[in-house]
Amino acid sequence: MWQTNYSATPWPHDELKPDFGYYICETLEDGTRALTYRASVTHVLPPTKAAKPEEAYDLVSEHLFDEGLRIAPHDWHSYHYNALKAEAPWPQRIVAWRARVEPFGPHVMEGLQRFPRSGWTQTEAISL
């Protein structure tokens, strides 16, 4: 979730749909950042405007929840990130997705030490 006037770049707006693949990066015990998981999107709520926190929950519920995943409304609203965003001005834009995740690596590569503000980095160095 983010304020409607925030420009999330380099966010993969158009690419974020089922079967979109990406890597997850973590900090290893020695402090090195590395790719540690491969992810493939299975469900997605594209960037959508929500008028209030309850509407954000309803949108996520509609697009991502099924028999295998449900989050109770009180758990959703009490989660620290969602509680913080609930205090911010609304409307906000929300995007959410689910992914199938498999262990990978760790694979260390240049450029993982610092991410752009959106958290997405693009590279030609490796591919799914």
Which of 78, 33, 30 lies closest to 53 in space, CA to CA?
78
Q: What is the pLDDT of residue 4?
A: 65
Q: What is the pLDDT of residue 127?
A: 60
Distance (Å, whole) CA 60 – CA 78: 15
Distance (Å, whole) CA 49 – CA 14: 16
Q: What is the pLDDT of residue 112?
A: 75
A 10 A CB-CB count for 83 gives 12
Which of 122, 75, 69 lies closest to 99 in space, CA to CA?
69
Give the pLDDT of the chain (128 residues) as one tens digit per residue.
Answer: 666 667 766 778 788 899 999 888 888 999 888 889 999 999 999 989 999 999 999 999 999 999 999 999 999 999 999 999 999 999 999 999 999 999 988 988 877 777 666 667 777 776 65
Please report which helix (H) or strand (E) contains residue 55, including its range: helix 53-64
In contact, 57 and 1? CB cutoff 8 Å: no
Enter the DSSP assignment of 66: B
Q: What is the pLDDT of residue 80?
A: 95
Q: What tokens were used for 30? A: 């020695």
